Amino acid sequence: MSGDRYRKVPSARLSRLASFGQLAGGIAGGMLAEGARRLAAGERPQLSDMLLTPGNAMRVTEQLSKLRGAAMKLGQMISLDAGDLLPAELTAILARLRDSAHYMPPSQLNQVLIAEWGKDWRKRFTRFEATPIAAASIGQVHRATLPDGRVIAIKVQYPGVADSIDADVDNVATLLRLCSLLPAGLDIAPLLAEAKLQLREEADYVREAEQMRRYGALLADNAAFVVPAPIPELSGDRVLAMDFIPGQPIDSLQETDQPTRDAALGAMLTLVLRELFEFGFMQTDPNFANYRWQPESGKIVLLDFGAARPVPVATIAAYRRLMLAGLADDSAALKAALLEVGFVSPVTLERHAPALDAMIAVLMEHLGQPGLFDFADRSFVEEVRRSAETIAADRAAWHIPPADTLFVQRKVSGTALLAVRMAARLPLREMVAAAVDA
């Protein structure tokens, strides 16, 4: 393990604020340098061109991965949710946030575990692996062996992360404003409040243990999935112990044959539809690291339940109407459902009806076909992107959907993105029809 993966998490508020200042300064310097380069080349630089450079994206990636917590989480959400809309180069760089977290140094890890378990905490185990087997935005995971021989996984939260959530979210929002990435009139306060709430929930490991047990019960009879069980006597607010379940990264499915990929992604998409229309409860973080695959059994291991939350009845009803309209090829009903669920605003409908109609027509033509849908076929994306760019160019018409819609769509889009990567072929129309009629 390379030593540069170890980096102390800045836990004090002043040190975290200084990191944001360093990030803002670096971005500003990068913008000036890019602007000077373009002027020297005889070009008239646009602000967005100077901001969205690989160098600035690298600065954002590196600094957020050092901060972890809410800052890195928001960066991960941007990289995952942007899908096909951001420039490919920028998307690829931001995607590094999904696996670029640094580890706590052993001394800092020891301080955290002493605070949770006491100074003799090592006596609880016959073996505790100091090098993490995984690291993410809020915590890192260690493998350990209990005296009875059981192998377990222990998620340890980074110090200061829970206390820094509100400030980190506000600082990221300020950065977006300073960099003119958001229109001045766009009200993002409701979204920021929801982001803080969800991140506080994710930092509550007692709550996550409860959600893990809930999913274990919901999927107890489902042969496609494995859910670890928490170990209460070793768990608390900042440490979560659970069964260690072996598995390979979900990306390893790419090396398998078509039927294997289709079976795995079919199970995952079916789960999303059940979460939405049957459970009314959804794990809303589709980060690929939250899934593992067992080649021997063909099962998918589900991890990380911090983002599990109820889906409001009104949101479920709106999604049902949205999908029924799509199944019926009813563009008028689909537009009404898009408005109801909050994907578009009345202003967008009024100002950009032709572009919206064009997007709907393309999507219905490709997504609504009976039989197998080939997720690897992205031939329609460029058509959708052209219409989307027309709407996006009108900053006065920008609109943020309700937070509940965003969280659901994040899971739907993330699962679809994984299906694209795996080149899955699934009877999409039939699967949706069965789910909404259930």
DSSP 3-29: GGGB-----SHHHHHHHHHHHHHHHHH
Contact 198, 410 (CB under 8 A): no
What's the rounded mean pLDDT across residues 14-19? 44
Residue 324 clears pLDDT 60, i.e. is over it: yes
What's the rounded mean pLDDT across residues 122-129? 97
pLDDT at position 84 is 45
**Distance separating alpha carbons of residues 233 and 240, to the nearest angstrom:** 10
In this structure, are 285 and 359 located in the same domain?
yes
In this structure, are 16 and 35 located in the same domain?
yes
Residue 63 clears pLDDT 60, i.e. is over it: no
Task: Provide the residue range defining the domain that includes 221.
Answer: 105-157+204-245
**Distance separating alpha carbons of residues 310 and 27, to the nearest angstrom:** 38
Residues 186-240: tens digit of each pLDDT: 677 777 787 788 888 989 999 999 999 999 999 999 999 999 999 999 999 899 9
Q: With cut-offs at 50, 70 and 90, classify the pLDDT of residue 11.
A: very low
Lowest-confidence region among 170-184, 220-234, 340-354, 369-383: 170-184
Which has more confidence, 74 or 169?
169
Residue 36 clears pLDDT 70, i.e. is over it: no
pLDDT at position 86 is 47
81 labelled catalytic = no
| Residues ≥6 apart with Cβ < 8 Å to 13 | 163, 164, 167
Where helices occur in 179-204 by DSSP H, the ranges are 189-202
In this structure, are 274 and 370 located in the same domain?
yes
In this structure, are 111 and 50 located in the same domain?
no
pLDDT at position 39 is 39
Contact 246, 413 (CB under 8 A): no
Residue 244 clears pLDDT 90, i.e. is over it: yes
**Overall number of domains in the chain:** 3
Which has more confidence, 179 or 47?
179
pLDDT at position 14 is 43
What whole-number percentage of the chain has pLDDT above 70?
72
In this structure, are 318 and 415 located in the same domain?
yes
Residue 323 clears pLDDT 90, i.e. is over it: yes
In a domain, 196, yes or no: no
Q: With cut-offs at 50, 70 and 90, classify the pLDDT of residue 56.
A: low
In this structure, are 413 and 268 located in the same domain?
yes
In a domain, 195, yes or no: no
In this structure, are 134 and 70 located in the same domain?
no
In this structure, are 300 and 376 located in the same domain?
yes
Please identify, among 245, 262, 294, the residue that sits at the C-terminal boundary of a domain: 245
| Model confidence, pTM | 0.79
Q: What is the DSSP string of 207-252?
A: HHHHHHHHHHHHTTT-TTEE---B-GGG--SSEEEEE----EEGGG
In a domain, 33, yes or no: yes
What's the rounded mean pLDDT across residues 360-384? 86
Under the phi-then-psi rule, with left for phi > 0, alpha for psi from -120 to 50, and beta for the rest, what region is 279?
A: alpha
Task: Give me the CATH number covering residue 229.
Answer: 3.30.200.20
Mean pLDDT of the chain: 79
In this structure, are 362 and 393 located in the same domain?
yes
In this structure, are 391 and 306 located in the same domain?
yes
What whole-number percentage of the chain has pLDDT above 90?
45
Q: With cut-offs at 50, 70 and 90, classify the pLDDT of residue 101.
A: low
- The active-site residue out of 168, 204, 262, 285 is 285
Residues 266-280: tens digit of each pLDDT: 999 999 999 999 999
**Distance separating alpha carbons of residues 326 and 338, to the nearest angstrom:** 11
Helix axes 428-437, 258-274, angle to 10 degrees: 30
Residue 425 clears pLDDT 80, i.e. is over it: yes
In a domain, 183, yes or no: no
In a domain, 364, yes or no: yes
pLDDT at position 189 is 77
**Distance separating alpha carbons of residues 1 and 149, to the nearest angstrom:** 26
Q: With cut-offs at 50, 70 and 90, classify the pLDDT of residue 96.
A: low
pLDDT at position 132 is 92
Q: With cut-offs at 50, 70 and 90, classify the pLDDT of residue 6.
A: low
In this structure, are 174 and 127 located in the same domain?
no
